[in-house]
């Protein structure tokens, strides 16, 4: 695969072979899943594997037995949602919850995940609707994943379950509506990629409550580390 070479290629292949041999049920997410669904290739220098929390001990044990080490927390609170596994400074992240804490890896994700290959090895990729959920809230001072999602939705990947996506978002549906408004503006000729009933449902919800009711800020849902992350330099 483009731009994954040398030691990084060896480490990623070792991690996948290790998890497969241990019969760990995981899916590949992050930038490599975006590429699988038609987005641009971007080597982010780490491999994100998502799994139910019940599978994490087996995954950590297998990786450790094969030479990976615990890299510890890179940001305070990491241990609530992610395990950083490292070999030669190359990261394989085991993830079971969103960093903002609002959602764990859902039941049935592995079964819904399409089969594919990554580095010529058999894997499953995160379902596209769940991929949207994982990236929709990543919008902070250091990173925004919406450009990835623009590419994914524009590719109109097969098996995209809009009802699953709406159910997963629950009360956070305004974030999806905001993204759809942006998508329509960026790609006005590709509205077909979003079912009209989804767009109309969300617009009707907003029209029914045009002014938000007073309540707590949702700033930390978009950026869980906003008050603790070192300032950008």
d(CA 5, CA 9): 5
For the stretch 168-206, pLDDT in tens is 999 999 999 999 999 999 999 999 999 999 999 999 999
Q: Output DSSP code: residue 139.
A: B
**pLDDT value at residue 149:** 95
Q: What confidence score (pLDDT) does residue 187 get?
A: 96
Q: What is the pLDDT of residues 34-73, one digit of tens each?
A: 999 988 888 888 999 999 999 999 999 999 999 999 999 8
pLDDT in tens, 197-229: 999 999 999 999 888 888 888 888 988 877 676
Half-sphere exposure of 163 (CA within 13 A, CB side): 0
- Which pLDDT does position 180 carry in this prediction? 97
Structure tokens at 73: 């927390």
Smallest Cα–Cα separation from 226: which of 146, 145, 148, 139?
A: 139
pLDDT confidence bin for 230, thresholds 50/70/90: low
Which ranges in the chain belong to alpha helices (H)?
A: 6-21, 30-36, 56-65, 109-112, 128-136, 146-155, 162-169, 173-186, 196-208, 219-222
- What does the angle CA 132 – CA 134 – CA 140 come to, to the nearest 5 degrees? 105
176 within 8 A of 165, measured Cβ to Cβ: yes
- CA-CA distance, 57 to 78, in Å (whole number)? 16
Count the Cβ atoms, other than its own, within 10 Å of residue 70: 12
Distance CA 68, CA 216 (A): 41
Full set of structural domains in the chain with CATH: 6-222 (3.30.460.40)
**Counting Cβ atoms within 10 Å, is residue 95 exposed (0-12), middle (13-18) or buried (19+)?**
buried
- pLDDT recorded at residue 45: 82
pTM listed for this prediction: 0.93
pLDDT band at residue 141 using 50, 70 and 90 as cut-offs: confident
**pLDDT of amino acid 229:** 64
Which residues have C-beta within 8 Å of that of residue 109, sequence separation ≥ 6?
27, 50, 52, 126, 127, 130
Q: Is 167 exposed, middle or buried (0-12, 13-18, 19+ CB in 10 A)?
A: exposed
If DSSP codes are grouped into helix, strand and coil, which group holds residue 5?
Answer: coil
Q: In DSSP terms, which residues pair with 123 in a beta bridge? A: 116
CB neighbours (10 Å) of residue 190?
Answer: 14
Number of residues that this document lists for the chain: 233
Mean pLDDT of all residues belonging to the chain: 92
Residue 165: per-residue pLDDT:
97
Number of H helices, E strands in the chain: 10, 7
* SS3 call for 134: helix
């Amino acid at each position: 695969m483009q731009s994954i070479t040398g030691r990084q290629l060896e480490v990623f292949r070792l991690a996948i072979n290790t998890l497969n041999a241990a019969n760990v049920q995981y899916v590949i997410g992050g930038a490599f899943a975006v590429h699988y669904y038609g987005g641009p290739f971007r080597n982010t220098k780490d491999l994100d594997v998502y799994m139910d929390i019940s599978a994490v001990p087996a995954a950590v044990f297998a990786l450790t037995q094969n030479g990976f080490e615990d890299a510890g927390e890179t940001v305070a609170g990491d241990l609530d949602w992610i395990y950083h596994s490292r070999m030669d400074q190359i990261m394989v992240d085991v993830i079971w919850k969103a960093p903002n804490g609002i959602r764990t890896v859902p039941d049935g994700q592995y079964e819904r995940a399409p089969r594919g290959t990554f580095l010529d090895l058999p894997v499953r990729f995160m379902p596209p609707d769940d991929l949207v959920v994982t990236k929709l809230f990543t919008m902070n001072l250091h990173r925004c994943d919406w450009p990835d999602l623009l590419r994914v939705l524009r590719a109109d990947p097969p098996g995209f379950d809009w009802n699953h996506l709406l159910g997963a978002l629950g009360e956070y549906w305004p974030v999806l509506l905001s993204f759809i408004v942006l998508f329509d503006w960026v790609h006005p000729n590709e509205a077909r990629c979003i079912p009209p009933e989804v767009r109309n449902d969300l617009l009707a919800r907003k029209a029914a409550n045009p002014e938000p009711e007073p309540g707590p800020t949702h700033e930390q849902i978009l950026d869980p580390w906003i008050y603790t992350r070192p300032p950008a330099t």
